């Protein structure tokens, strides 16, 4: 784990207290923030699959876009096709 990480891949800007990158996945823990175009997601933890362009976010998840705001304990987000 690296601490206080900001990772920018080709699609999503991610920020978290701890992050580890493995091949096509980024594991994020603590104060997770993800930004893609006009969409913003915050959560306690998240797994970003950079190959499939998906995110599984867990714990106090808040998703905000032009279409509104969603709060949940877990969200599965296809950030490229959403």
Predicted TM-score (pTM) of this structure: 0.84
Instruction: Pick the more confident residue, 81 or 54.
Output: 54
Q: What is the mean pLDDT of residues 28-51?
A: 94
Residue 22 token pair: 């493995």
The pLDDT mean for the chain works out to 87
pLDDT at residue 55, as a whole number: 95
CB 9 within 8 A of CB 50: yes
Instruction: Pick the more confident residue, 19 or 6.
Output: 19
With pLDDT > 70 as the criterion, what percentage of the chain qualifies? 88
Direct distance between the N- and C-terminal alpha carbons of the chain, in angstroms, rounded to an integer? 29
Instruction: Pick the more confident residue, 82 or 29.
Output: 29
pLDDT at residue 81, as a whole number: 83
């Amino acid at each position: 784990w690296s601490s206080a990480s900001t990772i920018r891949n080709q699609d999503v800007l991610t920020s978290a207290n701890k992050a580890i990158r493995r091949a096509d996945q980024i594991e994020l823990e603590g104060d997770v923030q993800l930004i893609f175009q006009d969409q913003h997601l915050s959560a306690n933890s998240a797994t970003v699959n950079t190959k499939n362009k998906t995110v599984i976010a867990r714990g106090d998840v808040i998703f905000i876009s032009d279409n509104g705001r969603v709060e949940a304990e877990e969200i599965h987000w296809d950030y490229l096709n959403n």
